[in-house]
A and B are shown apart, each in its own frame.
Chain A
């Protein structure tokens, strides 16, 4: 099956700093989503981005489908940005999402 690798696995940031999370995947996809998992376990949709660039407030994402990677940018980080970020991909002809192991982000004041 498709492989999804996220880096870095753990990240500690000072409040106000910027960061980039990376997701590499091993096959062509027609679905790519970024999630933030809250402390209660719910997956919050951040972006649906199988290709291109999107921005939502302090967050933005870019997927380069031909090179099989996606980036999630967090700017001016806040303590509420702490948590686990997941990248999930859906290969062509397959309905399931395959998740990476996540990026654990801690923002300290």
Chain B
């Protein structure tokens, strides 16, 4: 296994712009999770997929956020009309099944100016 990968690692954008992040899970992991971490806090759950189906979304995921996993492999997280409060580390994790170990990627650090 090559581990979970995320791209880009860093993103600086201006307020109001749209950004998209990508996550490639460990191959054959059917569960994929997105979390967000702000400074000094633990990660907070955003959403999760089982294969291509998005099965759960947190209330943190406003209507400016959308996530997809079109073929049950990689996933994208898009933020529209970014705000300064969106500045955070966005983490992706994958797992083989419910209750199994979640493995995290290196994260995408977003800075909104």
Contacts and interface: CB of A to CB of B under 8 A. Distances in A.
Given A31-B99, A102-B42, A96 B56 contact: yes
Interface string B7-40: 0000000000000000000000001010101001
Given A42-B106, A50-B99, A90-B99, 9 more contacts: A30-B99, A31-B99, A33-B101, A41-B107, A48-B100, A86-B43, A96-B33, A97-B93, A98-B45
A69 interface: no
Interface of B: 31, 33, 35, 37, 40-45, 48, 55-56, 58, 89, 91, 93, 98-107, 109
A35 B109 CA distance: 19
A41 B89 contact: yes
Interface of A: 4, 30-31, 33, 35, 40-43, 45, 48, 50, 86, 88, 90, 95-102
A33 B102 contact: yes
Contacts of A42: 104-107
6 contacts: A30-B98, A86-B42, A86-B43, A97-B45, A98-B45, A99-B42
